[in-house]
C-alpha cells in the first residue's frame, strides 16, 4: 500500500514539475512566435501567437510520447538520432525565415502549409530531442553507476584476498623457522600479531593515511630482519610523513616488499641486499625497491605460482584506484629485481 502511495506521490510531483516548466517556457515561446509573426506581417498576430504556442507545446508532448514508444525497443540511444533531431530543428528554423522572403503569392494555401509543417516539425523534434537526450543521459549515468559498483565490489574482493595471502606466506616462513631456529618464534609471533591487526582492521578502507601504512611496512621489515639476521644487508630511505592528509591504498607497497624478501631469501648467496626508498615529491609518492636474486637459479614456474598472485592483485588495484594516475616499471634482471612506482597523491 505504501509503495502505491509513494508511486502516486512521485507521479504527482513529476506532473507538477512539468506544469511549472511548461508555464515558465510558454511566455518566451509566445513572445518569440509573436515577434516572428510581426516580422512577416501576419494579421491577428496575437491570436496566432496564442494558437502557435498551444500547437507548439502540444507537438512537444506528442514528440516526447512518440520517442518514449520508439526508445522502449532500444538498448541505447544512438548519437546520430540526437544529432539528426537537432539538425532537423535547425533546418526548419532556417526554412521559416527563408520562406518569409520567398512566398507563393498565388497559392496562399501552400504558403500556410509551408509555415505550419516546419513549425509542427520543430515542436515534435524538440519534444523527442528533450526526452531522448534525458533518457540517453540517464542510461549513461546508470551504466557509470553499474561500472562503479562492479569496480567497487571487485576492489573489495581484491582487498579481502590480501590478508589471507599475507598470512599464508608468513605461516610458511614461521614453519621453516620453527624447525631450524625455534628460539626466534616468540618475538616473531608478537610482530605477526601487530601486522595482522593492521591488515584485518585498518586495511579495510579504500585509502588510509600513508604514515599508518609506513608503520606497517616498518613492522614487516623488523619481522623479516628477525628472521634473516646477519644475512640481510638492508638500506632504507623512507621519508617521515607526519599528518594524515597524505593517503594511499592499503597493502599496496607491501606486496613488492614481500616479494623482495622472498626472492632474496631464496638465493644461495651468503649475503642478500634490499634497497628501499620512499619520497613525497610534488604531487606524487615515489617508491623504489631493488633486491638481489638469482633468476636463473629459481624455478620460474614456482615463482609464478606463488608470487604472481600478489603482483597481479596489485596491478588490478592500481587500475581501479589510480586510473591514469600511476606509473609502474618492473625490471627483472639476472641478479637484481627492481620496482619503480609513482602514485598521484589522494
Here the cell at position 1 is 500500500
Q: Is 61 exposed, middle or buried (0-12, 13-18, 19+ CB in 10 A)?
A: middle
Helices (H), the chain: 2-40, 45-71, 79-101, 108-180, 185-197, 210-228, 254-265, 300-321
What residue ranges do the domains of the chain occupy?
Answer: 2-144, 181-344
Q: Per this entry, what is the length of the chain?
A: 346
Phi/psi class of residue 256: alpha, beta or left (left: φ > 0; alpha: ψ in -120 to 50)? alpha
Q: List CB contacts of 52: < 8 A, sequence separation 6 or more.
A: 33, 37, 119
Pick the CATH number of 181-344 from 3.30.565.10, 3.40.50.10860, 3.50.50.60, 3.40.50.280: 3.30.565.10
Contact, 69 vs 63, CB < 8 A? no
CA distances (Å), origin 298, targets 88, 228, 237: 69, 19, 29
Tell me the per-residue pLDDT of 120-141, one tens digit each, with 9 for 90 and over.
888 889 888 888 888 888 777 7
Contact (Cβ atoms closer than 8 angstroms) between residue 244 and residue 210: no
Confidence at residue 276, expressed as pLDDT on a 0 to 100 scale:
94
Per-residue pLDDT tens for 40-73? 666 666 777 788 888 888 888 898 888 888 877 7
Angle at which helix 185-197 crosses helix 210-228, to 10 degrees, equals: 160
Locus of grid cell 594516475: 325
pLDDT for 266: 67
Furthest CA-CA distance within the chain: 113
Q: Buried b vs exposed e over 247-259: b needs ≥16 C-beta within 10 Å?
A: bbbbbbbbbbbbb
3-state secondary structure of 314: helix
- What is the pLDDT of the chain when averaged over all its residues? 76
How does 86-106 read in b/e, with b if 16+ C-beta sit within 10 Å? eebbeebeebbeeeeeeeeee
Cα separation, 54 vs 129, whole angstroms: 19
Q: And the C-alpha cell for 195?
A: 601486522
Find, among 295, 277, 272, the residue nearest to 287 by Cα: 277
Using CA atoms, how far apart are residues 255 and 234, in angstroms rounded to an integer? 17
Cα(79)–Cα(52) distance, rounded to whole angstroms?
Answer: 30
Per-residue pLDDT tens for 9-27? 665 666 667 677 777 777 7
pLDDT of residue 300: 47
For residue 324, the model assigns a pLDDT of 85
Dist CA 210 CA 246 (whole Å): 6
Which grid cell is 326?
600511476
Query: Nearest 5 degrees, angle CA 79-CA 84-CA 85?
Result: 105
Could you say which residues of the chain have pLDDT below 50? 1-5, 299-306
Q: Are 261 and 274 in contact (CB under 8 A)?
A: yes
Amino acid at each position: 500500500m505504501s509503495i502505491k502511495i509513494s508511486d502516486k506521490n512521485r507521479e504527482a510531483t513529476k506532473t507538477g514539475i512539468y506544469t511549472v516548466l511548461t508555464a515558465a517556457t510558454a511566455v518566451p515561446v509566445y513572445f518569440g512566435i509573436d515577434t516572428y509573426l510581426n516580422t512577416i506581417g501576419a494579421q491577428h498576430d496575437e491570436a496566432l501567437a496564442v494558437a502557435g504556442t498551444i500547437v507548439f507545446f502540444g507537438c512537444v508532448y506528442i514528440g516526447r510520447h512518440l520517442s518514449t514508444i520508439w526508445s522502449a525497443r532500444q538498448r541505447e540511444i544512438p548519437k546520430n538520432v540526437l544529432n539528426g533531431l537537432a539538425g532537423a530543428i535547425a533546418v526548419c528554423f532556417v526554412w521559416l525565415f527563408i520562406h518569409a522572403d520567398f512566398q507563393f503569392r498565388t497559392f496562399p494555401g501552400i504558403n500556410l502549409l509551408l509555415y505550419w509543417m516546419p513549425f509542427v516539425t520543430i515542436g515534435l523534434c524538440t519534444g523527442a530531442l528533450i526526452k531522448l537526450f534525458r533518457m540517453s543521459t540517464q542510461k549513461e549515468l546508470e551504466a557509470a553507476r553499474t561500472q562503479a559498483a562492479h569496480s567497487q565490489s571487485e576492489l573489495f574482493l581484491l582487498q579481502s584476498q590480501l590478508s589471507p595471502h599475507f598470512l599464508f606466506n608468513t605461516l610458511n616462513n614461521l614453519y621453516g623457522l620453527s624447525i631450524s631456529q625455534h628460539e626466534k618464534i616468540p618475538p616473531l609471533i608478537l610482530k605477526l600479531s601487530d601486522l595482522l591487526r593492521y591488515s584485518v582492521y585498518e586495511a579495510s578502507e579504500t585509502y588510509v593515511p600513508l604514515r599508518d601504512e609506513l608503520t606497517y611496512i616498518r613492522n614487516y621489515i623488523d619481522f623479516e630482519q628477525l628472521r634473516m639476521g646477519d644475512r640481510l644487508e638492508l638500506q632504507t630511505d623512507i621519508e617521515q610523513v607526519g599528518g594524515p592528509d597524505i593517503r594511499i591504498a592499503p597493502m599496496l607497497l607491501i606486496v613488492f616488499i614481500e616479494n623482495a624478501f622472498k626472492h632474496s631469501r631464496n638465493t644461495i648467496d651468503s649475503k642478500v641486499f634490499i634497497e628501499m626508498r620512499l619520497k613525497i615529491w610534488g604531487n606524487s609518492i615515489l617508491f623504489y625497491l631493488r633486491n638481489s636474486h638469482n633468476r636463473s637459479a629459481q624455478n620460474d614456474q614456482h615463482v609464478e605460482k606463488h608470487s604472481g598472485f600478489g603482483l597481479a592483485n596489485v596491478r588490478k588495484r592500481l587500475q581501479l584506484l589510480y586510473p591514469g594516475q600511476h606509473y609502474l616499471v618492473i625490471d627483472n634482471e639476472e641478479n637484481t629485481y627492481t620496482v619503480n612506482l609513482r602514485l598521484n597523491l589522494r
